[in-house]
Amino acid sequence: MKKQIEIYTSPDGNTQIDVSFEGETFWLNLNQISALFKKDKSVISRHLKNIFSSGELSRDAVVAKNATTATDGKSYIIEYFNLDVILSVGYRVNSKRGTQFRQWATQRLKNYLIVGYALNEKRLEQKNKEIQVLHDGIRILNRSIKEKINKKEELNWLKSFSEGLQLLDDYDHEALDRVGNSSRETSFPTYNEYKEIVNHLKIKTHSSLFGIESNNGFDSAINQINRGFEEVDVYPSIEEKAAVLLYLIVKNYAFVDGNKRIAAACFLLFLNKNKLLFKNSRKPVIGNKEIVSLTLFVASSHPDEMMSVKNLIVSLLNRT
């Protein structure tokens, strides 16, 4: 969502502050934080220094610099601090004020998230329609190709797309692969390795909600693929485990924000850990566009379509 300004008024009505909302979080500069908690700027600066030097928060992730034109007409670079920093300062200097501001900010964030969710749902619906049109077009093209081949009028350029067209045909006829090619012993990333990926992604976003677990769905997803009964593995191949991992992280909605990005990254981590991410030529087995399409395909699928989704991912990995 674009930058917007919210006006925060303290419960006693004596303090009003223009609060910027951008990148799914709120931002205040040093003067505004000082006014919010009614503390001298030197006090706030000292607390900010302690917060960053102790490693409680990473400066690069929670501080943004903006050019601001002052009353003298000159332009200055001003540092703005996000909601994580504001609350950390609040607990140090005025816990009551900090609690009041946190309650206000939480409600406003919920409102923004609801609006953003509605917009994303609308965009996703439009994308699904576009995907369906594309699917229908490829299916018609596939039928046309078969007719051409029967007439011995094969078009050479279509050979480059033969695997993709065959996958569509297998999907239509419920003939996708159910079992992967790699049945060797699986190397499972540790929970900390998965979390390292999540934290790495978080650095690249300004969202204070990114990667925050909302339930135990993430832990459930990474443990689900390692289940078996006595000596029988529920998901015997590495490809099946990878497919189910991608599906469950997306569908468990385990994070407040970033479920699809985290799911795709963990899927790639799992393949890389098991030496399936790259071919002998060091080319990735799945490209940027493919991982986006697969993840969106999983997100838009219905619960009763899980096996079809899993089999499509397995079939794709088997053919790379």
Q: What is the pLDDT of residues 92-133, one digit of tens each?
A: 887 677 778 877 877 777 666 555 444 455 555 566 565 666
pLDDT higher at 157 or 34: 34
On the question of pLDDT at 320 being above 70, the answer is: no
Query: How much is the mean pLDDT over the chain?
Result: 79
Stretch 132-136: mean pLDDT, rounded? 62
On the question of pLDDT at 299 being above 70, the answer is: yes
**Sequence-ordered strand ranges (E) for 25-140:** 25-29, 63-69, 75-82
Residue 44's pLDDT is what? 92
Highest mean pLDDT, choosing among 2-16, 27-41, 96-110: 27-41
Of 59-73, 100-114, 132-146, 221-235, which gets the smallest average pLDDT?
Answer: 132-146
**Closest to 316 (Cα-Cα) out of 280, 272, 276, 282:** 276
pLDDT higher at 101 or 160: 101
Mention every residue, 6+ apart, whose C-beta is less than 8 A from residue 259. Answer: 249, 250, 252, 253
Residue 206's pLDDT is what? 76
Residue 2's pLDDT is what? 47
CB–CB of 258/190 below 8 Å? no
On the question of pLDDT at 36 being above 80, the answer is: yes
Residue 123's pLDDT is what? 56
Q: List own/partner pairs for 302-310 with CB under 8 A and 24 or more apart.
A: 303/251, 306/247, 308/171, 308/174, 308/176, 309/243, 309/247, 310/240, 310/243, 310/244, 310/247
On the question of pLDDT at 64 being above 50, the answer is: yes
Of 13-22, 126-135, 183-192, 198-207, which gets the smallest average pLDDT?
Answer: 126-135
CA atoms within 13 A on the CB side of 263: 28
Residue 1's pLDDT is what? 39
Query: End-to-end CA distance of the chain, in Å?
Result: 38
CA distance 251 to 298: 8
pLDDT higher at 13 or 35: 35
CA distance 56 to 60: 12
Residue 143's pLDDT is what? 63
On the question of pLDDT at 229 being above 50, the answer is: no
